[in-house]
Amino acid sequence: MGKLILFTFLFVSLLVGADMLKVGQKAPDFALPDANGKIHKLSDYRGEKVVLYFYPKDNSPGCTNEACNLRDNYTALQDRNLIILGVSYDDGESHKKFAADHNLPFTLLSDTAKTVAEMYGAKRGLLGFIGAKRITYLIDENGIIIHVFDDVDTKAHSRQILDVLDKSEASKEEK
């Protein structure tokens, strides 16, 4: 019985990470380097909508699918005045290679200390192993979270984002 309880505790701790942020909350500011070492702050993007997407690992199958889907639909996302920022635990060299290998036109940020992932509920762990959680935040021009994607379809993430924007704009027009 004790082993079952221990196993259950370990399994649940693997699945549960920090709480993700909620719609309506102010997105926490951060400062992270891109692949070239340039520091980006969320506050640098005030006045613009930001897609802040957290992903587990450069060049892994799901993360590559997600990044390439965003790349393939980048023009449509830019037409909606969206800034795309990808965040993972990988370092700048890994991001340079990932971006070059897949012709990614958007910025990838390195959260090697895992602090920003912690702030955004994109971190989970088990016995000292810290894994990244795939989650995306859509942040408005004032730094307020307007949507949280916690069930990301890596092959159609751009469509998920655009659908949310379409619904949001349609509801504004009805008012």
Listing DSSP states for the chain in one string gives -HHHHHHHHHHHHHH-BSPPP-TTSBPPP-EEEBTTS-EEEGGGGTTSEEEEEE-S-TT-HHHHHHHHHHHHTHHHHHHTTEEEEEEES--HHHHHHHHHHHT--SEEEE-TT-HHHHHTT-EEEETTEEEE--EEEEE-TTSBEEEEESS--TTSHHHHHHHHHHHHHHHHHH-
Q: Catalytic residue among 63, 87, 135, 138, which?
A: 63
Q: Is 63 a catalytic residue?
A: yes
Greatest C-alpha distance within the chain: 58
49-54 vs 135-139, strand pairing mode:
antiparallel
Q: Cα 135 to chain center, whole Å?
A: 5
What is the set of active-site residues? 63
